[in-house]
Amino acid sequence: MKTSFRRLVLALTVAIVPALPASAESLADVLVAAYRHSALLEQNRAVVRAADENVAQAMSALRPVVQWAASHSFRQVEGAETVATTLQLVAQMTLFDFGRSQLAIDIAKENVLATRESLVAIEQDILLDAVDAYLRVRNAQQQISLQQNSVNLLGQELQAARDRFEVGEITTTDVSLAEAQLAATRANLAAAEGSLEIAIEAFVASVGRRPIDLDPPPALPKRPESLKAAQAVARRTNPGVLQAQRATAAAELQVAAAAAERRPTLTGNAGLSATRAPQTSLFGSGDQEITSTLSAGVEMSQTLYSGGRLPSLHRQAMAQRDSARAQLLDAARQVDLSVGTAWANIDVARAQISATDEQISAARQAYEGVREEATLGARTTLDVLDAEQDLLQARADRITAETNLQLAHYQLLAGMGLLTVEDLNLGIPTYDPSAYYGAVRDAPYTSTQGDNLDRVLRAIGK
């Protein structure tokens, strides 16, 4: 069950929950802001509410329909004029339709549940985009710091090269090499600054504000014991799979509903009318007459021939059911793919981090050795610059690999259906789609129910 796997995100939860100083912005702060800022979530909440109304409309088919009508007529026959005013009150109700109305209600309910799962999927996308924006800003900031340190270091190297040139230890070629390397690093710094601006814009679009002083990411959430275990969780809890399951159930019911369209319908009706008909003629006025009529009856009807429309609707429903089944199978496969991809990305990023740590250690020793040898004349300036560039690249790769590792873990949570405000325990009120559904599913009409519905709408900010 879903709750049994929440321990997978315990490490994340523990790191997120504590309050932090106002001057810093944690990943939890970013996720909360993204959840509250998203217009896409607001849009899809409205879609869910619209689906709720379909249940109310389906429920209304089992209730009487009461209508009134008023008419006024004038007629003249052989000199006699008749003016009549009629008021009618008519009630009609389906008494028995062999389950068609109930099937329509069940279909509407399945569609509501499918739409709710779609809302959960949107929530996961919003939070994953926020995580991605947060990590990219952090990555760009670290790359800028790295490139800035490199610029400072190469500036010192260039000054040392010029000093050595002044005393005749090296040639102008060595100085030019140092100048070229410094210019290239400054270009890389400008590129990193541009990447930061792009990352900030993505952050603003996702979160609704520019990043403040971002804290380091929290501890990584734990993975399941195996890829198969993660995929098994995903098939049970991923909103894409659950949505496809609900859509398939609705399609199955739709086939039964299409078959039921060929069955009879029993309806009852009752009416009350009052007619006032004052009469006048060429010989004088007549008496006013008020006639009241009360009627009631039952009617059974059935379509015997529809020109092929009803059989076509049945075949169409079966084709749509087959399509929904195939879509469910594809959704399960896509979830397996996304979980497997995230799992592999975690392994790749971990291997890259381990390798780059070794590379950084070796590159640092190489750089220090080459630099020392250069002071003794055993190495050229180009050797020093190459060693420094190797160390810089290893450190940059380390930053990128760490970012990829963080992102892959959250992609895995999303694939498993565990990247929600509730699962991350962010500690904020969340939208409850059942509140509106509970207010409208019985098609409220009375003022008390209407007032309750108004309170629900106000509570969700509508």
Cα 33 from Cα 403, distance rounded (Å): 21
- At residue 333, the pLDDT reads 96
CB 200 within 8 A of CB 25: no
Closest by CA to 432, choosing from 34, 37, 106, 45, is: 45
Written as six digits, the tokens of 227 are 């890829």
- At residue 275, the pLDDT reads 85
Interior angle at CA 454, CA 452 and CA 457, nearest 5: 115
Q: Computed over its alpha carbons, how large is the radius of gyration of the chain?
A: 37
Residue 218 amino acid letter: P
Cα 174 from Cα 158, distance rounded (Å): 9
Q: What is the DSSP letter of 223?
A: P
- At residue 1, the pLDDT reads 41
Q: Which residues contact 191 (CB under 8 A, 6 or more apart)?
A: none
CB 218 within 8 A of CB 26: yes
Q: How many CA atoms lie within 13 A of 273 on its CB side?
A: 17
In terms of phi and psi (left: phi > 0; alpha: psi -120 to 50; beta: otherwise), the region of 161 is: alpha
Cα 462 from Cα 73, distance rounded (Å): 47
pLDDT tens, per residue, the chain with 462 residues? 444 344 433 333 333 334 334 457 899 999 999 999 999 999 999 999 999 999 999 998 888 999 999 998 888 777 777 788 899 999 999 899 889 999 999 999 999 999 999 999 999 999 999 999 999 999 999 999 998 988 888 888 888 888 878 887 777 888 888 889 889 889 989 999 999 999 999 999 999 999 988 999 999 988 999 999 999 999 999 999 999 999 999 999 999 999 999 999 999 999 998 888 765 554 455 566 788 889 899 999 998 988 999 999 999 999 999 999 999 999 999 999 999 999 999 999 999 999 999 999 999 999 889 888 877 777 777 888 888 888 898 999 999 999 999 999 999 999 999 999 999 999 899 899 988 888 887 776 654 445 555 565 555 554
What sign does the dihedral 344-348-354-357 (CA atoms) show?
A: negative
CB 132 within 8 A of CB 309: no
Domain covering 3-37+97-263+315-421 in this structure, CATH number:
1.20.1600.10
Closest by CA to 178, choosing from 399, 406, 388, 459, is: 388
Q: How many CA atoms lie within 13 A of 353 on its CB side?
A: 14
Written as six digits, the tokens of 177 are 């090499």
Alpha helices per DSSP H over 208-238 = 227-237
- At residue 84, the pLDDT reads 84
Place of tokens 């892959």: 408
Closest by CA to 105, choosing from 310, 253, 286, is: 253
Cα 35 from Cα 420, distance rounded (Å): 10
- At residue 459, the pLDDT reads 59
- At residue 70, the pLDDT reads 92
Cα 309 from Cα 293, distance rounded (Å): 39
Cα 154 from Cα 177, distance rounded (Å): 11
Of the chain, the end-to-end C-alpha distance in Å amounts to 34
- The DSSP result for 335-366, as a single string, is HHHHHHHHHHHHHHHHHHHHHHHHHHHHHHHH
Q: Which helix (H) or strand (E) holds 13?
A: helix 10-16
Place of tokens 């190297």: 157
